Amino acid sequence: MADLLSVAKLAGVSRATASRTFATPERVSPATRRKVEDAATQLAFRPNKVARQLRARATKMIGVMVPSLNNPVFAEQLHAMEVAAREADYSLIVTTSDYDPSREQAIVDEMLSQRVDGLALTVAIAHDSAVLATLKRESTPCLLVYNPLHPGGLPAIGVDNRAAMAEATRHLIALGHRHIGMVAGPLLQSDRARLRYAGYRQAMREHGLAPQPLIEMPRHTQAELACLAPLLAGHNRLTAVLCTNDLLAISLIGELQRAKFSVPGDLSVMGFDGIDLGQRLYPSLCSMEQPRIEIGRAAIATLLAMIQGQSPPLPFLPHALREGESVGAPPATRQALTPRSPERNTP
């Protein structure tokens, strides 16, 4: 309510002196400082950041756009960003896009109008995003989070999705699985899902195994057993599936158990993301962990460096296999002590 001018008047000094009292107290005589501080207290003075931002041509705000907050991956990352930003005295403007390109565009426009000092964006598909093309022409530092590097040269931070999923696949292969499927949301609508599928195929081929066609679920984070059930019976039935994200995996496990399948007895299920919750379930979720906290923190640190004109290196952040009870040896291996092969074993 009260502004600097009223404080200055009450203290009997000029605006400049009042301003200095807060910005550079050592340049104000102790007596004057005291008067100004008293006046400020008396009037419950609160500096107006908007005015400061206008004058400084900098807002100390970072715009963050994530697809959704209902997926803990993004919520956890955002939490880390918020903490890191506040440590550096920055605030976050947070928006969600639901992967809708028109919303993405509107959000970015809005944030640029708001004169955020930097942008941290997670878009659906980076390489053909109209928004990003626009952004290249802007001078506001912009960092992609989770997305792969953008051909237009926008920096990106995240794990090597392809390598990570290949590694996850190899984990299952090493356990003896041969019939491994991959479960995803509709249309592989994010570039990460595509890279993960590529990693899966690569690892399968490396081992002379046939990559299976993608098993698409109608929703991104919710499994429908009907889409998978046909593949769980018969000669070449799946013994393990990889899911493109943890929520999908968790929901799939729930559906399987409700239908009296055993996990991992009948089917091993592996996730991707490593959200906290996965470890608390039974069976605990085996997953390929993205360092969400570290990604959030590093994103802010990188953006701050970019704001100061540097262009810090952006290696992939390390993914890590998180063991879990949802993955085990395939039924075939368990019966390997008997002479009969699993195919013949099942009528």
Partner DNA sequence: CGCCCTCATGAGATCGATCTCATCGATCAC
Partner DNA sequence: GTGATCGATGAGATCGATCTCATGAGGGCG
- Give the binding site for DNA (CB under 7 A): 3-5, 12-17, 19-20, 22-23, 27-29, 31-33, 45-48, 51-52, 54-57
Which of the choices a second copy, DNA, none does residue 16 contact, using the CB cut-off of 5 to 8 A by kind? DNA
Nearer to DNA, 14 or 102 (CB): 14
SS3 content of the chain, % helix, strand, coil (to 5): 45, 15, 40
Nearer to DNA, 32 or 105 (CB): 32
Which of the choices a second copy, DNA, none does residue 239 contact, using the CB cut-off of 5 to 8 A by kind? none
Per the DSSP assignment, residues forming a β-bridge with 269 are 241
Instruction: Report which of 55, 131, 58 is spatially closest to residue 304, judged by C-alpha positions.
Output: 58
Which of the choices DNA, a second copy, none does residue 284 contact, using the CB cut-off of 5 to 8 A by kind? a second copy
How far are the Cα atoms of 62, 90, 95, 274, 307 from residue 76, in angstroms, in the given order?
Answer: 17, 18, 15, 11, 24
Nearer to DNA, 48 or 341 (CB): 48
| CB 103, CB 66: distance < 8 Å | no
Nearer to a second copy, 65 or 193 (CB): 65
Collapsing DSSP to helix, strand or coil, 241 comes out as strand
| CB 268, CB 327: distance < 8 Å | yes
Radius of gyration of the chain (CA): 27
Q: Quote the least distance from Cβ 77 to a second copy, whole Å.
A: 9
Which of the choices a second copy, DNA, none does residue 326 contact, using the CB cut-off of 5 to 8 A by kind? none
Q: Quote the least distance from Cβ 111 to DNA, whole Å.
A: 15
Q: Quote the least distance from Cβ 132 to a second copy, whole Å.
A: 16
Q: Quote the least distance from Cβ 106 to DNA, whole Å.
A: 18
* Beta carbons within 8 Å of 308's beta carbon, 6+ residues apart: none
Q: Quote the least distance from Cβ 162 to a second copy, whole Å.
A: 28
| CB 290, CB 274: distance < 8 Å | yes
